[in-house]
């Protein structure tokens, strides 16, 4: 038994192999999403180190997909979030009420913190709780789904509690297409603004009031008059919008009418034509990473040019020959490629789960 005692002492002395209580933990508060929601259960999972955090699509019309966010994506998410807040006239030190906690994952906690906002959640996920918080907590900005916020404003009017609302208030609507009736609901109440924020868990925030928030957004004309498919960093979002010179209802300078959103019936085939990567095997791994973390299909071109100066993708429908080439707005894909290269260089390994070829 002395041998077992020695083995136990050796085992206990190894610090780089954690016990369960020593494993790093990323709680809801670490992600800045520690608020109540009726649509979720809190579940602990083993999350790989290569993800900055995991989240889920909203599941508006189908089951939610898991989304992995890489650390290389965070700077662009922060830039887009800061631009959205600035265009909404949100100031450092403002108090933000988040009605649906997972929306923080689209910003990223880092974006809200670095902008200097103080954010809080509802005590319960209900319209009454929104009214109570706005009246009590000195709220400057509210973010949530537009129909829910419109109904909340109408409830406050009917109950007479609207008189306790602050004189100045900004509503940022997100998550679903803008319910345009909210613009009528705020009339005559106070110095209120409504902004229409469009984005996804996969890509982060994309447009505010029809104005692009990222530099890598492309629009491809569809068969429908004035309708365009929206592409982020070379990857199709699967969403189609009207682009109109008359402008967005919330800001006439914005030309992408985000409340006209339609899901694309057939998505583009996304093909990597050129890449900075020197190995085809690594490019194929990038394609798998995009599929697994974003649920977007990316293919590797048969005649792909490796070791190129930049990444170039081609988009085409499966039943058409025309290819739309994107060679200067691929930042989103670029960041995923950098994440893949980093993962291959510094991948976390567990000695009890070693795969041998």
Instruction: Please check the confidence at residue 5 and state whether its pLDDT lies above 90.
Output: no
pLDDT, residue 261, reads 92
Mean pLDDT of the region 255-272: 92
For residues 353 and 270, the model is more confident at: 270
Whether the per-residue pLDDT at 61 is higher than 80: the answer is no
CA 91 from chain centre, in angstroms, equals: 22
Q: Which helix (H) or strand (E) holds 217?
A: strand 217-221
In angstroms, the CA 284 to CA 276 distance is 13
Give the phi and the psi of residue 158 in degrees, each rounded to 5.
-65, -35
Cα–Cα distance for residue pair 226/297, rounded to 1 Å: 26
How do the domains of the chain map onto residue ranges? 67-215, 269-346
- Quick one: which of 318, 306, 332 has its CA closest to 270? 318
Q: How far apart are CA 217 and CA 337, in angstroms?
A: 18
For the cut 80, the answer to whether the pLDDT of residue 59 exceeds it is no
| pLDDT computed for residue 108 by the predictor | 96
Record the tokens describing residue 315, joined without a space. 């988009």
Q: Which residue carries 């650390």 as its tokens? A: 71
Mean pLDDT of 174-183: 96
Average pLDDT estimate for 340-345: 93
Q: pLDDT grade, residue 124 (50/70/90)? A: very high
The pair of three-digit structure tokens given for residue 65, joined into one six-digit string:
């997909």
Residue 353: predicted pLDDT: 76
65-102 pLDDT, tens digit per residue, is 999 999 999 999 999 999 999 999 999 999 999 999 99
pLDDT higher than threshold 60 for residue 133:
yes
Contact at 8 Å (CB) between 126 and 148? no
What's the rounded Cα separation, in Å, for the pair 24 and 153?
A: 42
> pLDDT (tens digit, 9 = 90+) per residue, 93-109?
999 999 999 999 999 99
Q: Which of 199-203, 220-224, 313-317 has the lowest mean pLDDT?
A: 220-224
CATH of domain 67-215: 3.40.50.980
Tokens 């982020």 identify what position?
232
Share of the chain above pLDDT 70, in %: 98
Q: Is residue 278 a contact partner of residue 325, using CB atoms and an 8 Å limit? A: no
Residue 69 has phi, psi (to 5 degrees) of -110, 125
Rounded Cα distance between 264 and 261, Å, is 9
For residues 302-318, give the mean pLDDT. Answer: 95
pLDDT at 357 over 60: no
Higher pLDDT, 43 or 9: 43
Give the chain's mean pLDDT.
93
What band does 267 get if pLDDT is binned at 50, 70 and 90?
confident
What are the respective helix, strand and coil percentages of the chain, to the nearest 5?
Answer: 30, 25, 40
As a whole number, mean pLDDT of residues 157-184 equals 96
**DSSP one-letter string for 281-314:** HHHHHHHHHHHHHH---EEEEEEEE-S-SS-EEE
pLDDT at 12: 82
Question: 117 has which bridge partners?
Answer: none
Mean pLDDT to the nearest integer, 113-136: 96
DSSP for 22-63, please give it: GS----HHHHT--S--TT---------TT-SEEEE---SSSP
Model confidence, pTM: 0.93
Selection from 172, 135, 187 nearest residue 156 by Cα: 135
**pLDDT for residue 50 is more than 70:** yes
pLDDT (0 to 100) of residue 356: 65
Give Dmax (Cα) for the chain. 83
Q: Using CA atoms, how far apart are residues 220 and 255, in angstroms rounded to an integer?
A: 14
Q: Which of 184-198, 289-303, 311-325 has the lowest mean pLDDT?
A: 311-325
pLDDT band at 355 (very low <50, low <70, confident <90, very high): low
């Amino acid at each position: 038994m002395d041998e077992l005692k020695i083995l136990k002492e050796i085992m206990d002395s190894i610090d780089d192999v954690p016990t369960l209580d020593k494993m790093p933990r990323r709680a809801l508060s670490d992600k800045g999403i520690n608020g109540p929601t009726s649509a979720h259960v809190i579940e602990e999972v083993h999350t790989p180190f290569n993800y900055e955090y995991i989240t889920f699509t909203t599941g508006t019309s189908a089951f939610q997909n898991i989304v992995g966010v890489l650390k290389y994506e965070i700077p662009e998410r922060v830039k887009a979030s800061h631009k959205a807040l600035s265009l909404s006239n949100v100031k450092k030190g403002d108090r933000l009420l988040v009605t649906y906690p997972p929306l923080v994952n689209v910003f990223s906690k880092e974006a809200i913190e670095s902008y200097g906002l103080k954010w809080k959640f509802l005590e319960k996920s209900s319209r009454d709780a929104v009214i109570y918080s706005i009246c009590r907590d000195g709220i400057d900005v509210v973010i949530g789904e537009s129909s829910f916020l419109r109904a909340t404003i109408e409830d406050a009017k009917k109950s007479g509690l609207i008189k306790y609302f602050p004189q100045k208030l900004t509503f940022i609507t997100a998550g679903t297409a803008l319910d345009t009736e909210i613009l009528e609901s705020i009339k005559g109440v106070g110095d209120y603004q409504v902004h229409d924020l469009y984005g996804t868990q996969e890509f982060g925030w994309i447009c505010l009031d029809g104005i692009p928030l990222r530099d890598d957004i492309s629009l491809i004309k569809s068969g429908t008059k004035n309708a365009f498919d929206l592409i982020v960093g070379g990857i199709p979002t699967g969403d189609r919008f009207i682009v109109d010179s008359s402008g967005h209802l919330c800001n006439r300078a914005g030309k992408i009418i985000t409340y006209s959103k339609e899901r694309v019936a057939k998505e583009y085939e996304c093909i990597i034509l050129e890449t900075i990567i020197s190995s085809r095997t690594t490019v194929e791994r990038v394609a798998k990473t995009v599929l697994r973390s974003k649920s977007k299909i990316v293919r590797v071109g048969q005649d792909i040019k490796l070791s190129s100066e930049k990444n170039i993708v081609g988009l085409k429908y499966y039943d058409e020959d025309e290819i739309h080439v994107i060679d200067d707005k691929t930042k989103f894909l670029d960041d995923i490629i950098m994440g893949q290269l980093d993962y291959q260089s510094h991948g976390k390994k567990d000695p009890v789960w070693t795969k041998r070829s």
